[in-house]
Amino acid sequence: MNSDEFRQAAKQLTDYIADYIEGLRTRSVVPDVEPGYLNELVPDAPPEQGEPWINLFNDIEPVIMKGMTHWHSPRFHAYFPTANSYPAICGDMLSTALACIGFTWNAAPSCTELEMRMMDWLAQMLGLPDYFHFKNGGPGGGVIQTTASESTLIAILGARTKILQKYGLDNKITNNDDDDDENGENKDSKRYDLLGRMVAYTSNQSHSSVEKASMLSATRIRLLPVNDEDFSMDVDALRRRIVADHERGLIPMIVIATLGTTNTCAFDDLYKIGQLCSEFEIWLHVDAAYAGSAFVCPELRHYMNGIEYATSFTVNPHKWLLVNFDCNAFWVKDKSLIEDAFNVNPVYLKHENQNRILDYRHWQIPLGRRFRSLKMWFVFRSYGVDGLQKHIRKQIELAQLFGQLLKTDERFELIDEIRMGLVCFRLRGSNEMNEKLLQTINHGREIFLTPSKVNDKFIIRFAICARTTNENDVFYSWSLIRQYAEHLFDL
């Protein structure tokens, strides 16, 4: 494909994309395929000779769309939203085409510097504490990670390094067995002894990625119980556990609090947890992957009361803030806390400006990184703060609308109050009935919802996801859910 062919191809694709997005309401949300469907559609070997663009373009519908779950259908209500907006697509196009790898400042100065600026813009929009802003010259700041999973892992690793340092060690596992410190103690044994004593705490409602991060980092984790009424972490249980662990010689290291859990959009009490962390000098990491975007609206910031105790904070603009995946935002109070955890400095990455500004390679697990702040820049400027607030408020209103509809029918029950854009509900009846209902709804392929389980109750999650979902879509979904329930159970 030469440059003229590219001009043609990318313009044809642009129209296809706009038609696709605007036409999503006419497609079934869930595809009608069985595992293995694609094997008959794509040959099992690559072509020897190149093919013209039109062959590729003509295969998009019969191969890709045939097996696509349309996340941006206005009737997609599964999981949590993933962002999609036109300015983000443009920003990403430019990023792809520049194809610079901004691991150091020198490797692409605009990539590092725009990211710093955008992380400051976002911190300001969300009302985060001053210490997270670069512009305050403080030791803290923000970075774009791929996902919240990585941000949580990085927070755990940062907390671990901090404790190792407290005991005169670093994160680097020495190459030499006989590397004793001045007291004659072997550093490796000391390190593994400490690792085995460090403990992370989170609630049993936190995201699966928290448990995964503990597995990856070999960190002992406590999944604490939650309060019955709102599924927030039981802070008294947390205190008891921390005290007990401390007394047993373990080292309480980090608490991962969630603002907006995946199951029910529950909010942990940051203020109480923060006081506890402060008392015991424990790292407080706040996972606001979904709900954090809502803090662009000042009237919703009461949900993060206590944020001033956070050592690190993460939110996914690629969920609810119209910046396409991947774009996870992560802030840390003092950048040395994470730079120390990852610092490897080969000669081939050294440059003469490395002490004058930051190198983001020390802030993340991979070395390579895309120019992702372009998407943020384009989205934040296209929408303005006002446009982003309108988006959040509209989605919350739609969730409230669905909740009102649900309350009109006493055969259904709401699980907890409605927070943000998520409604959790169930048929009054057995778990089996609800499982059957959900399965039937999704087999219908017109709308898509996902399950969860709290207190052994099978529940159905209805999330407002697509940017284009409107009142009519909510009415449509509600009528469909009622009909399925009536038909299935002869209600």
The reply to whether 54 sits near a copy of itself by the rule CB under 8 A is no
CA-based max dimension of the chain: 78
Please, which residue, 139 or 366, has the CB nearer to a copy of itself?
366
Pairing of strands 312-315, 328-332: antiparallel
Assign 325 to helix, strand or coil.
coil
Least distance CB 315 / a copy of itself (angstroms): 14
Instruction: Choose which of 25, 27, 28, 90 interacts with a copy of itself (CB under 8 A).
Output: 90
d(CA 238, CA 201): 8
CB 42 within 8 A of CB 86: no
To a copy of itself, the closest distance from the beta carbon of 112 in angstroms equals 9
User: Min. distance of Cβ 306 from a copy of itself in angstroms?
Assistant: 25
Find the binder of a copy of itself among 25, 27, 28, 106 (CB under 8 A): 106
Q: How far is the CB of 214 from a copy of itself (least distance, A)?
A: 6
- CA gap 252, 277 in Å, rounded: 9
Among the listed residues 26, 46, 137, 183, the single contact to a copy of itself using CB under 8 A: 46
- 99 interacts with a copy of itself by CB under 8 A: yes
| Shortest CB 303 distance to a copy of itself, Å | 21
**Directed axis angle between helix 86-98 and helix 373-407, to 10°?**
150
Say whether residue 67 binds a copy of itself (CB under 8 A). Answer: yes
**Minimum CB separation from a copy of itself for residue 404, in Å?**
24
Nearer to a copy of itself, 83 or 277 (CB): 83
Task: For the CB of residue 382, give the shortest distance to a copy of itself in the complex, in Å.
Answer: 5
Distances (CA, A) of 4 to 52, 56, 237, 301, 327: 13, 17, 65, 50, 31
> Is residue 49 a contact point for a copy of itself (CB under 8 A)?
yes
Among 69, 165, 227, 400, binds a copy of itself (CB under 8 A): 69
Q: Are 135 and 119 in contact (CB under 8 A)?
A: no
If binding is defined by CB under 8 A, does position 247 make contact with a copy of itself?
no
Residues 453 to 482 in contact with a copy of itself, rule: CB under 8 A: 453, 458, 461
Both structure tokens of 409 = 């029918």
Q: By rule CB under 8 A, what count of residues binds a copy of itself?
A: 162
| Window contacting a copy of itself (CB under 8 A); options: 27-35, 274-282, 301-309, 471-479 | 27-35
439 Cβ contact partners less than 8 Å away, ≥ 6 residues apart: none
Site pattern 317..356 for a copy of itself (x: CB under 8 A): -x-----xxx--------------xx-xxxxxxx-xx--x
Give the Cβ contact number of residue 313 at 10 Å: 29
Query: Is residue 386 involved in binding a copy of itself (CB under 8 A)?
Result: yes
Contacting a copy of itself within 418-457 (CB under 8 A) = 439, 450-453
- 178-237 residues in contact with a copy of itself (CB under 8 A) are 188-189, 191-193, 195-196, 207-209, 211-212, 214-223
**Residue 477: CB minimum distance to a copy of itself, A:** 18
CA dihedral (314, 318, 322, 323) positive or negative: positive
Q: Angle at CA 314, nearest 5°, toward 113 and 295?
A: 95
Q: How far apart are CA 199 and CA 359, in angstroms?
A: 30
CA torsion 266-271-274-279 (nearest 10°) is -140
| Closer Cβ to a copy of itself, 1 or 491, answer by number | 1
Q: Binding to a copy of itself by residue 3, rule CB under 8 A?
A: yes
Q: Which is nearer to a copy of itself, 366 or 486 (CB)?
A: 366
Regarding 283 and contact with a copy of itself (CB under 8 A), the answer is: no
Chain position carrying tokens 């794509």: 42
All residues at 6 or more sequence positions from 237 whose CB lies less than 8 Å from its CB, including other chains:
224, 225
Question: Do 54 and 13 touch, CB atoms closer than 8 A?
Answer: no
Among 25, 27, 28, 79, binds a copy of itself (CB under 8 A): 79
**Binds a copy of itself by CB under 8 A, chosen from 74, 77, 84, 163:** 84
**Segment near a copy of itself (CB under 8 A), from 149-157, 279-287, 305-313, 406-414?**
149-157
Distance CA 239, CA 244 (A): 8
Measured from the CB atom, the residue of 201 and 309 that comes closer to a copy of itself is 201
Single-letter amino acid code for the residue at 116: M
CB of 478 to a copy of itself, least distance (A): 21
Q: Judge whether 324 and 373 are in contact, CB under 8 Å.
A: no
- Does position 73 interact with a copy of itself (CB under 8 A)? The reply is no
Question: CA-based Rg of the chain, rounded to a whole angstrom?
Answer: 25
Q: How far apart are CA 32 and CA 483, in angstroms?
A: 21
